[in-house]
């Protein structure tokens, strides 16, 4: 069972907001704190407080740190995480987040990633936010992280290097690295921080609406300030992945009822429909009004060829009209190849567990080689199974769906 966490970044995301949302969703702060305490650094504390943001109940996480002038490099932080004896997945996720930050800052400042000097994101509070978020994901047993489009603000923000455009260059670089969808809001607040963007860039398996899941719980992590008319919070939705019905290939079923066509005309119509591009074509006996015997001529075709196939159906049957319905189909994987029988080539269709011989080829070889048709069919199937690699079994179609 794959457990998912989907971050809804309707008001952006920051490290403390991500951590707060996971705590609000049920991650025990004590367990999170115990894991973070494995890092070989001191002088910090973390607390959680219930708050309201525009009337929405949320959890705000406060990371208290001692004042320091230490500026850590990416290599320094990597060493801290490696020495922390963290659970393997927590360690890998934390290193991925700091690695994403280092790559982004390295591109912006034209330095090797390991030589990047972290200012805000190298502080103890940011380290606790990042490692704490990874620890909270582990406490909740999260296997995959997903996220919505990411809201960003406008204007300018103050950073260690002075005033920077909002969203900051690091945020843009991080979101661009994973082609994350963004939503710009006319709000003069740093809605998404480099720490929040790095968490998404490093951990998210995809961006978009809520992935298919059985929802179990959700939580809101509050930002540090109020925003007029908008809850300054990040939501997380926790659940177990469910298999969504896979989309099939769209096809059109075209049909016409015919009560004045001979068998020869109907057989010719089937061939003409297949030549026009239909996947399949067939005739079904029916009884029309006043007891008249008739036939329904059907053709299954791609949507792009529907008009072309419909025109052939009308022309070959003389029908006054054609009806159509749109369906989906889940075709079994197959491939075409050629085998040799009595020195003649015979086309075969290979699908899982089956070799299907092209009838016209088999009939032609039977006539030329003086063999019964059934013997040619048997020899071609045997040769196909012996010489051709089997096609791997495909996954079964989604429950409740049948191939057209």
pLDDT along the chain (404 residues), means of 10: 96 97 98 96 94 96 82 84 95 94 80 61 81 98 97 86 86 95 94 96 95 96 93 98 78 94 93 94 93 94 94 93 90 80 88 84 92 93 73 48 42
Interval 80-100: pLDDT, tens: 999 999 999 999 999 999 999
The H or E element containing residue 103 is: helix 88-109
Angle at 230 between CA 46 and CA 131, to 5 degrees: 25
Per-residue model confidence (pLDDT) at position 337: 82
Both tokens of residue 211?
């992935």
Interval 44-67: pLDDT, tens: 999 999 999 999 999 999 999 887
Per-residue model confidence (pLDDT) at position 120: 52
Per-residue model confidence (pLDDT) at position 385: 83
pTM of full prediction above 0.75: no
Residue 99: alpha-carbon gap to chain centroid: 24
* Residue 117 near residue 75, CB atoms below 8 Å: no
Per-residue model confidence (pLDDT) at position 404: 40
Per-residue model confidence (pLDDT) at position 386: 78
Per-residue model confidence (pLDDT) at position 401: 46
**Residue 141 zone, left/alpha/beta (φ > 0; ψ -120 to 50; rest):** left
Per-residue model confidence (pLDDT) at position 402: 43
Per-residue model confidence (pLDDT) at position 245: 62
In degrees to the nearest 10, what's the CA dihedral of 266, 268, 273, 274? 120
Per-residue model confidence (pLDDT) at position 109: 66
Give the C-alpha separation, 393 to 391, whole Å.
Answer: 6
Per-residue model confidence (pLDDT) at position 388: 59
* Domain span(s) for CATH 3.30.70.1380 in the chain: 249-329
Give the C-alpha separation, 13 to 7, whole Å.
Answer: 9
> What is the strand order of the sheet 249-258 is part of?
280-287, 293-302, 249-258, 323-329
Per-residue model confidence (pLDDT) at position 166: 92
Give the C-alpha separation, 116 to 110, whole Å.
Answer: 9
Per-residue model confidence (pLDDT) at position 306: 93
* Residue 233 near residue 58, CB atoms below 8 Å: yes
Q: Largest Cα–Cα distance of the chain, in whole Å?
A: 96
Per-residue model confidence (pLDDT) at position 338: 87
The residues that bridge with 255 in the sheet, in sequence order, are: 298, 323
Q: Give the CATH H-level superfamily of domain 249-329.
A: Transcriptional regulatory protein pf0864 domain like (3.30.70.1380)
């Amino acid at each position: 069972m794959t457990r998912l966490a989907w971050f809804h970044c309707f008001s952006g995301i920051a490290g403390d907001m991500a951590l707060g949302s996971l705590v609000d969703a049920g991650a025990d702060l004590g367990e999170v704190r115990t894991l973070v305490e494995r890092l070989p650094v001191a002088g910090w504390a973390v607390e959680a407080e219930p708050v309201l943001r525009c009337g929405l109940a949320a959890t705000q996480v406060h990371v208290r740190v001692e004042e320091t002038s230490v500026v850590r490099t990416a290599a320094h932080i990597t060493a801290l995480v490696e020495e922390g004896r963290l659970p393997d997945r927590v360690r890998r996720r934390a290193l991925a987040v700091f690695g994403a930050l280092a790559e982004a800052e390295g591109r912006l400042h034209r330095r090797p990633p390991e030589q990047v000097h972290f200012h805000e994101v190298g502080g103890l509070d940011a380290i606790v936010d990042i490692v704490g978020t990874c620890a909270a994901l582990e406490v909740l047993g999260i296997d995959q992280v997903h996220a919505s489009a990411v809201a960003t603000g406008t204007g300018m923000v103050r950073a260690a290097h002075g005033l920077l455009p909002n969203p900051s260059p690091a945020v843009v670089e991080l979101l661009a690295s994973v082609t994350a969808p963004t939503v710009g809001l006319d709000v003069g607040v740093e809605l998404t921080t480099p720490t929040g963007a790095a968490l998404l860039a490093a951990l998210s398996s995809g961006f978009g609406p809520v992935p298919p899941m059985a929802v179990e719980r959700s939580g809101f992590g509050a930002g540090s300030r109020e925003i007029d008319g908008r809850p300054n919070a990040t939501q997380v939705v926790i659940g177990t992945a469910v298999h969504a019905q896979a989309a099939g290939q769209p096809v059109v079923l075209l049909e016409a009822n015919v009560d004045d066509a001979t068998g020869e005309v109907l057989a010719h119509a089937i061939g003409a429909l297949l030549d026009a591009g239909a996947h399949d074509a067939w005739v079904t006996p029916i009884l029309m009004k006043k007891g008249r015997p008739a036939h329904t001529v059907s053709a299954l075709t791609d949507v792009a060829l529907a008009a072309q196939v419909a025109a052939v159906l009308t022309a070959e049957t003389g029908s006054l009209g054609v009806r159509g319905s749109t369906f989906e189909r889940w075709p079994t994987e197959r491939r075409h190849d050629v085998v040799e029988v009595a020195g003649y080539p015979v086309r075969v269709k290979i699908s899982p567990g089956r070799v299907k011989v092209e009838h016209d080829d088999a009939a032609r070889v039977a006539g030329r080689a003086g063999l019964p048709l059934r013997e040619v069919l048997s020899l071609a199937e045997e040769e196909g199974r012996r010489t051709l690699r089997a096609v791997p079994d495909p996954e079964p179609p989604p429950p409740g769906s049948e191939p057209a």
